[in-house]
Amino acid sequence: MELAEILFLAFASIAVVTAIFTVISRSPVISALFLVINFGALSGLYLLLSAQFLSVVQVIVYAGAIMVLFLFVLMLLRPEKEDKYFVVNRKMKIFAVIVGLFLFGQLAFAIFASDIGQTVSIESSRSEQIGKIAYIGENLYTTYLFPFEAIAFVLLVATIGAIVISKKKLD
């Protein structure tokens, strides 16, 4: 077995297990911590796909900024008080799992029915070139300049909106 395959298996199993634990663990803080590990495993998978820039951004933005925001709000809202609301609604959970497995079957069927996985193979020189920050930046500031500016405006609006919403008292 190659090193890449071993790494893929390791990162993929970490991602799967932590995703499941994020959903099933009772305490929201534990969920958030499992989600951080999941984001770390995804960052490793991006590295395996030689997307270096996105791998670093995943750690900084998701595992850093977004999860800090989640944990901050969780600590602020005293999540342990909510524990009594988690009444076991067994019927609904079983139904949700059945729906999920059905959807997964559909997706897996679609993936295996198309022969795209067998026909394409990764060209390591090409994919290493496009994952680099220089290549991404070059494309971002020339061809995709307008979406880039638009996303900057979206972030500005979201910042102002978050401040306004959390400040005002709704009634």
Partner 1 sequence: MIQLDYFLLLSAFMFIVGTIGVLTRRNAIVVFMSIELMLNSANLTFVAYSSFFGDVVGQLFVFFVMAVAAAEVAVGLAIIIAIFRNKLTVNIDEINILKW
Contact positions with partner 1 (CB under 8 A) in 97-126 = 97, 99-101, 103-104, 107-108, 111-112, 116-118, 120-123, 126
Footprint (CB under 8 A) of partner 1, residues 32-51: 32, 35, 38-39, 42, 45-46, 48-51
Residue 145 touches partner 1, criterion: CB under 8 A: no
- Going by the DSSP 8-state scheme, the letter that residue 170 receives in this structure is P
Question: What is the Cα–Cα distance from 52 to 56, expressed in whole angstroms?
Answer: 6
In the structure encoding, which two tokens stand for residue 73, read together?
């709000």
Considering only 37, 56, 59, 79, the residue that binds partner 1 (CB under 8 A) is 79
Question: What is the Cα–Cα distance from 54 to 16, expressed in whole angstroms?
Answer: 20
Considering only 37, 56, 59, 66, the residue that binds partner 1 (CB under 8 A) is 66
Compute the least distance from the CB of residue 75 to partner 1, in Å.
Answer: 11
Q: Which amino acid is at 125?
A: S
Compute the least distance from the CB of residue 140 to partner 1, in Å.
Answer: 6
Considering only 73, 80, 145, 149, the residue that binds partner 1 (CB under 8 A) is 73
Contact 39, 67 (CB under 8 A): yes
Considering only 10, 80, 127, 145, the residue that binds partner 1 (CB under 8 A) is 127
Q: Which amino acid is at 29?
A: V
Number of residues binding to partner 1, judged by CB under 8 A: 87
Nearest to 37 by CA among 56, 22, 24: 22
Considering only 10, 145, 149, 158, the residue that binds partner 1 (CB under 8 A) is 158
| Alpha helices, DSSP H, located in 114-144 | 116-119, 124-131, 133-141
